[in-house]
A and B are shown apart, each in its own frame.
Chain A
């Protein structure tokens, strides 16, 4: 679990079964294990009303473990971007009683939560569990471009090329950490780049 540094830095929990009529899981990579771990605590028949959306890695790891839970639906989209229109549609048509469970990388949790917030779901109503990489989704505060899977500190903006300090300051609205130019005074000053978010 990640330590809390400033108030906007998200804190993730451990998935636990909530009362509800429908359950929507969205996970990537090792997030599948958060779901299978939770399944042990779920009441009988819990997955009869559940849809699992899982973005697998290229090897298709963990798919069979999720199949074994026998959810009402198992959907395996190739990427989050390709999932988003369908997810928005699902949330728009959903009723109260739908519970959301997000598990896996911070980028996945953040972007799925962003779609849920747009649908009027409070972030505190969502179960989350972080598994796998600590890589961050970062927004350059200067050019507003998003850089995915940032693992270093500092990190170069993939849009404008500025060298950015990756802050713990997080925006739920943008689903991104804020990156601020680290050498604005003297651009020739290049601090060492470390692997900070493996």
Chain B
């Protein structure tokens, strides 16, 4: 059960390879109507029916919020992941009927800002595609700094440069180009908000520098969907529903709970939104927390877990589900 979200019955209207790693998918409603309105930074959860297995992965909408005839997402192929991106790249063809969630925005622009400073790393560019389109349409003041490995892997760098000119600055790892973060963060006018999307290391680096340079936390926005990590199988007792389940190596705890017919609330499935937060009744073992939602104190207490991305190793785990 996805809290407060209804599903959208869509059809894949186009599949476009963008470069060696990234493919873009277009969805339209099967009934031909317009899709729901969304704002830049929103994501949808895509249901992937792969034989008897269903994966639910979040992807940022990258199209212009001004055009709701179709939704577009871009997916980077991850050859060592749990298989969601490989399924999309290999199995999804135009004409396939799929189900996606309503859009949810956990990374929205703060439109009170005088200026929006955006930092993207790699495939973290996708929410900024929508946000820059939204701001450009409304005459908003923004600047996008985009780091990619090589020019050929700079997904949509050409499109962004063409659309927004000098507002987009590119940095290529293979040319040793690096953001001068200290200078960038120190030269922004008062009232600027900062947005970061990319690898966890980049997000942590930017957040730490911004905090030490005096950017108040409410001016720093970030999004990083943690993919559920595979791990050793473990057993869990669901006290409320009276079930004992086994979480498989390639399965997330949330997916295992759902497979047992229990429907916890969820929104992002990436450790960000907090919807699936679950109380631990008792445990004997070690938690492997991978979320960005719980506080460090919560992580240490062993009283809470985010089943979408976190795992457990040990003798026994009893959850309030």
Contact = CB atoms under 8 A, between A and B. Distances in A.
Contacts of A19: 211-214
A32 B245 CA distance: 63
B3 interface: no
Contacts of B188: 95-96
B189 A96 contact: yes
B185 A94 contact: no
B217 to A, nearest CB: 8
Interface string A18-59: 111110000000000000000000000000000000000000
Contacts of B113: 120
Contacts, number: 61
Contacts of A91: 190
Contact of B213 (A96, A121, A122, A124): A96
A98 interface: yes
B189 A95 contact: yes
Contacts of B213: 19-21, 96-97
A121 B211 CA distance: 16
B68 interface: no
A95 B212 CA distance: 14
Contacts of A136: none
Nearest to B191: A120
Interface string B205-217: 0000001111110
B219 interface: yes
Contacts of A120: 112-114, 189-192
B114 A96 contact: no
B219 A94 contact: no
A119 interface: yes
A19 B211 CA distance: 7
Interface in A82-109: 91-92, 94-99
B218 interface: yes
Interface string B183-198: 0011111111000000
Given A19-B211, A96-B185, A97-B185, A122 B190 contact: no
A96 B218 contact: no
Nearest to A126: B216
- Most central of A18, A21, A98, A122 by chain B CB within 10 Å: A122
Interface in B68-98: none
Nearest to B114: A120
A20 B113 CA distance: 19
Interface in B208-245: 211-216, 218-219
A124 B191 CA distance: 13
Nearest to B194: A96
Contacts of B216: 18, 99, 122, 124-125
Interface in B83-121: 112-114
Nearest to B185: A96
B218 A99 contact: no
Contacts of B192: 96, 120
B214 A122 contact: no
A195 B213 CA distance: 45
- Most central of B185, B187, B189 by chain A CB within 10 Å: B189
A84 B215 CA distance: 24
Given A21-B186, A119-B191, A120-B191, A97 B214 contact: yes
Given A21-B186, A119-B191, A120-B191, A96 B112 contact: no
B212 A96 contact: no
Interface in A128-187: none
A98 B214 contact: yes
A94 B213 CA distance: 14
Given A96-B189, A97-B186, A98-B190, A124 B212 contact: no
A91 B114 CA distance: 12
A13 to B, nearest CB: 14
Contacts of B211: 19
A36 B188 CA distance: 30
Contact of A94 (B112, B189, B218): B189
Given A19-B214, A120-B112, A120-B113, A95 B219 contact: no
Given A96-B188, A96-B214, 10 more contacts: A96-B189, A96-B219, A97-B213, A119-B190, A120-B190, A120-B191, A121-B191, A122-B219, A124-B216, A125-B218
7 contacts: A95-B186, A96-B219, A97-B215, A98-B214, A99-B216, A120-B114, A120-B191
Closest 7 CB pairs of A and B: A120-B191, A20-B214, A125-B216, A120-B114, A97-B214, A94-B190, A96-B188
